[in-house]
A and B are shown apart, each in its own frame.
Chain A
Amino acid sequence: MPTIAAVDDYIARIEGTCGAESDIIVVLKFDKKDQALEKILKKAVLKSQIAGMIYDLRFEEYSFRVYASGKIIFKGIQNKQTLNRILAELLL
């Protein structure tokens, strides 16, 4: 029976950052990061990139960067529900 993909399939951890900024770091599971990156690049608007290592992206009104190392940094997302919704739209 096929399983339904979930956001947790792609995400190892979500970290808040210390500092007055409201940055959120999403760490992708190592073995899923390339697959996740491919999905994100299909759905978000690519603004710029550096050498296939760093992708500067926009989805809805939110800017974020994805690193080929498997980390995503979101700026200006105020609550967990919004983050979860955006991650679901990008990854599922």
Chain B
Amino acid sequence: MVDYYENNNANVHRGVHSLSLEATEMYEKSREHVTKFINANDSSEIIFTRGATEAINLTAYAWGLNNLKENDEVLIFLMEHHSNIIPWEITAKLCGFKIKYVNVTSDGILDIKDFENKISSKTKIVCLSHVSNVTGVANDIKSLSKTTHDHGAVLLVDGAQSVPHMPIDVQNLDVDFLAFSGHKMLGPTGIGVLYTKKTLQQKMNPYQGGGEMIKDVTFNSEKQLCNISWNEPPWKFEAGTPNISGIIGLSAAINYLEQIGMNNILAHEQDLTKYAIEKMKSLTKISIYGPTDSSKCGIIPFNINGLSSHEVALLCDSYGITIRSGYHCAQPLHQIFQIPSSARASFYLYNTHEEIDYFLNVLKEVQTL
């Protein structure tokens, strides 16, 4: 990013001067890098956004408004982050489709029977997260993808909590849309990706209008209107000057992750999670939500009896430990757990067993309050 700002700072796909051409090359190389990272078929399937939230909004507006109508149904699981609920609630009001919510068990696992009961020929899209941002539960995307496609629907996967933590192959998983964010994978904030299967892009209208997303804008003086033709994907969905440095930064972050190896990152996090859960279970005042087996990713939601999640987070903060508290933008899942909020410990590649021991010692101290 520093190199870009110091040596190549110019807009992309705009000028014929050297700086613009250099910036464009860095930008499109980053797109190719993301393509390989998730094993997409073609770089045109990679659309850059502000983050996973905008990626899901883009899907809801660009694909949803063009493909969903009254009597169509959208299936959403109740473990979803609000960013995979609200865009569909908004667009449902615009074009009249129906949202059906699929249950999650009190253990935080998808209720597959409820899914199979609710999916039908009316279902046009199924929306779910690969990994829950509250519990760390990893869903069986390949199996859910098959069921979805068997019913003629498409699958949107929120990969914000999976892409940074495990190897992802969109072709093997057979997902139609995959959204993820740069800031959750050691990249900068304000950059994200929407993977869209190429065959679906022709069924999508532009999400926003502006420069770069159009091929021609010709003014007809007699009719006093502009005739517009769209650019090809992915640029058709990238209106205006993009976050060029963010995209270059995302590619650098991916490079770093690749050097460590996504399988190694996953194994490390699962090892830390198992270690932490075993120790946390021995603390009498602590309740852990969701499954506690080794298949989950590096997230542990919990509460300490007699303390609010915010108190726990502030107490941990006093010892230099950063954890999230509240709903984690997933209020419906907290309703299922019947809790007012939760504290959430999460681990990544840089955490160690020693840090978990320290965290556990702090929890021991905190639960004496």
Among A21, A25, A53, A69, max chain B CB count under 10 A is at A21
Given A18-B327, A54-B318, A68-B318, A73:B340 Cβ within 8 A: no
Is A84 part of the binding interface, using a Cβ–Cβ cutoff of 8 Å?
Answer: no
**Which of B1-9, B216-224, B304-312, B352-360 is near enough to bind chain A?**
B304-312
Cβ of B343 to closest chain A Cβ, rounded Å: 10
A50 touches B317 (CB 8 A): no
Q: In the assembly, what is the distance between CA of A21 and CA of B311, in Å?
A: 11
Contact of B369 among A18, A50, A71 (CB under 8 A): A50
Rounded to whole angstroms, the CA-CA distance of A63 and B308 in the bound complex is 13
Bound CA span A53–B325, Å: 20
B369 near A56 with CB under 8 A, answer yes
A17 touching B314 in the complex, CB below 8 Å, given contacts A48-B369, A50-B369: no
Q: Which residues of A contact B317 (CB under 8 A)?
A: 67, 69, 71
CA separation between A65 and B314, bound complex, in Å? 9
B190 within 8 A of A: no
Task: List residues of chain A with CB under 8 Å of any chain B CB.
Answer: 17-21, 23, 25, 48, 50, 53-54, 56, 65, 67-69, 71, 73, 75
28 A/B residue pairs, CB under 8 Å, sorted by A: A17-B308, A17-B325, A17-B341, A18-B326, A18-B327, A18-B341, A19-B308, A19-B309, A19-B310, A19-B325, A19-B327, A19-B341, A20-B334, A20-B340, A21-B309, A21-B310, A23-B311, A25-B310, A25-B314, A50-B365, A54-B318, A56-B369, A65-B311, A67-B317, A67-B318, A73-B308, A73-B311, A73-B314
9 more contacts with CB within 8 A, not counting A19-B326, A20-B340, are A18-B327, A21-B308, A21-B340, A50-B369, A54-B315, A67-B314, A67-B315, A69-B317, A73-B314
